[in-house]
Amino acid sequence: MKMKVQLIIEDKSGSTATTETATLERGESDELIGLSLEEAKAITASVQRTLLEAQAREAIDRGSTCTQCKARLRGNGAHRVIYRTAFGRLTLASPRFYLCRCQMRGRQSVSPLAIWLHGHMSPELQYLEAQFAAQLSYGMSARILGSVLPLQQATSITTWKRHVARVGGRLDEEAHQRPASHPVLNEFGLPTRNPLRAVGIDGGYVIASDAPSRPGREPKLRTIPERIGARLSPAAVGNIFKSVAKCIKMASEDIRVVSGHSIRVGATQDLLALNIDLASVMQAGRWKTNRMPMRYGEHVLAARSGMARAAKEQGRDG
């Protein structure tokens, strides 16, 4: 069996253009049911490329005509623009045109495609980068997205960090530009209806006390009086965790040993207690050797040793 996937684009005049995006073949002995992940990624990337190129041609055609006198604008060369999307990186031809003399005197040129794109990255890719970076490491986020989406070098860890920092800066600027008011503050000095829901710190979370939670998953960490802005130092992270520990009324002797590495230690011990293999634990903690996870989980591993299991089977573990 052979199946051809075609994309039919109809412009405003009613004329259509057909583009073949993929050809799928299945034999009687083929064990593959439906689409494979690679086929789905290839089809999505092809549809994205065809659709975006058609939209770009229309944007260039609109921008090559004067909006006042409707005269065709004179060309001023062309260059290529790289546009990154969640479905691949595309290289588009971007001609430049001189502005019409009825609008200005001089020789200023513009690129209709650059004006239409508003940048070099789609909003969907920016959204995915910010969402994943808030919950996972950059490397793991890139691997997960790359396995399900046809990114095709649309992003890298270095550029990802820069884009997320830009998004965070824009959100922070928007927050400071909101009209000044005098909200009612809670016991931590934060507005009672603070829009902040969670702050991710190297895989750990500080969850707002009024953030909605699912039954059985009540937040264990509460809001804290820390200003979000500059990068936190290791000492500041430790102080934050100590403040959180006091809020949830941990024992004073336990609070003294809380540090910025507490969530890494706790996560390592939890993973090992669930019989997660050491290689997966190392990947989750971004360790290159097993020295630190073995050190953090020495008590858990000791409880699972051969002698410990033998003592348990013989009733000598009490």
Residue 30's pLDDT is what?
73
The single residue listed with the structure tokens 């998953």 is: 217
Instruction: State the pLDDT at residue 219.
Output: 44
Residue bearing tokens 């960090």: 161
pLDDT at 118: 86
Q: What is the pLDDT at residue 65?
A: 86
Q: How confident is residue 314, by pLDDT bands cut at 50, 70 and 90?
A: low
CA 246 to chain centre: 32
Q: What is the CATH number of domain 199-226+233-303?
A: 1.10.443.10
User: DSSP of 3-56, one letter per residue?
Assistant: EEEEEEEE-TTS-EEEEEEEEEE--TT----S--HHHHHHHHHHHHHHHHHHHH
Nearest residue to 225 via CA among 253, 190, 259: 190
Residue pointed to by tokens 């003294």: 256
Contact in structure between 44 and 36 (CB atoms under 8 Å): no
* Predicted pLDDT at 193: 53
Beta bridge partners of 109: 98
CB 154, CB 122: distance < 8 Å:
no
What's the pLDDT at 167? 78
For residues 282 and 220, which has the higher predicted lDDT (pLDDT)?
Answer: 282
For 16-38, write each residue's pLDDT tens digit: 888 888 888 887 777 778 888 88
Model pTM above 0.85:
no
d(CA 261, CA 248): 18
Q: Give residue-wise pLDDT tens across range 188-236.
A: 565 555 454 444 444 444 444 444 554 444 444 444 444 445 566 777 7
Cα dihedral 219, 220, 223, 227 sign: negative
Distances in whole angstroms, Cα of residue 129 to Cα of each of 105, 106, 168, 199, 283: 43, 42, 11, 16, 20
Residue range(s) in the chain whose domain bears CATH number 1.10.443.10:
199-226+233-303
Rg of the chain over all Cα atoms, to the nearest angstrom: 28
pLDDT at position 182, please? 62
State how far the Cα of 268 lies from the Cα of 164, in Å rounded to an integer: 27
**Euclidean distance between CA atoms 112 and 85, whole angstroms:** 19
**Four-CA torsion 247, 250, 251, 257, nearest 10 degrees:** -100
Give the angle subtended at the CA of 264 by the CAs of 262 and 265, to the nearest 5°: 65
DSSP code, position 177: T
Q: Tens digit of pLDDT for each residue in 123-180?
A: 888 888 888 887 778 788 888 888 888 887 767 778 788 878 887 777 777 766 665 5
> Which one is predicted more confidently, 112 or 176?
112
Residue type for 192, please?
A: T
pLDDT of residue 105: 67
- Report d(CA 52, CA 124) in Å as an integer: 14
Stretch 85-114: mean pLDDT: 84
The mean predicted confidence, pLDDT, of the chain is 76
Beta bridge partners of 94: 79
